[in-house]
Amino acid sequence: MILEYFMLFLLFLMLGLAIYAVETKDLLASVVAAGFVSLVASIVYLYLQAPDVAMTEAAIGAGLTTLIFIIAIRKTERYEK
């Protein structure tokens, strides 16, 4: 039962972080929030009995995608006008 409430909390956290990632003006903070959404999603996959997908999401969504976005921000600009 407590696990289900924890999952509910994680889903709300995921939505809140997604709204923050869309609305903030600082693109670096936005990218970090989007990576955090992926990390929370990998915990949700673990609850849904999909360990293979959880491993892929944790390694790609939270690691590689965030790095690629940060490289692109370093070569363009950081603040949204």
Partner 1 sequence: MRKWLAIIFLIVLGFFMAKITSSFPFGEEKWGVSRHYVDKGIEENRGSNLVTSIVVNYRGFDTLGEVTVLFLAATALAFLLSTCRCRRRYERREASLIVKTASETLYPLLILFGAYIFIHGHLTPGGGFQGGTVIASAVMLMLLAHFTFHPNHRALSTVEGLAGITFVLIGFAGLIWGGSFLANNIIPLGQWNRLFSAGVIPLIYVAVGFKVGSELSGLITDMIKTTKEE
Partner 2 sequence: MAFFVASILLILIGLYAVLVKRNIMKIVIGLSLMDTGVNVLIISLGFIRGRTAPIVNIKDLLVNTSSKVVDPLPQALVLTAIVIGVAVTAVALSIVMLMYSKKKTLEIEEYKELKW
By the criterion CB under 8 A, which residues form the site for partner 2? 7-8, 11, 14-15, 18-19, 21-22, 27, 30-31, 34, 37-38, 41, 44-45, 48-53, 56-57, 60-61, 64-65, 68-69, 71-73, 75-77, 80-81
Contacts 24+ apart (CB under 8 A), 58-67: 61/35, 62/35, 62/36, 62/38, 65/34, 65/35, 65/38, 66/31, 66/32, 66/34, 66/35
- Residue 81 binds which entry of partner 2, partner 1, none, CB below 5-8 Å type-dependent: partner 2
| Contact of residue 44 among partner 1, partner 2, none (CB under 5-8 Å per partner type) | partner 2
If you ran DSSP here, which 8-state letter would residue 79 be given? B
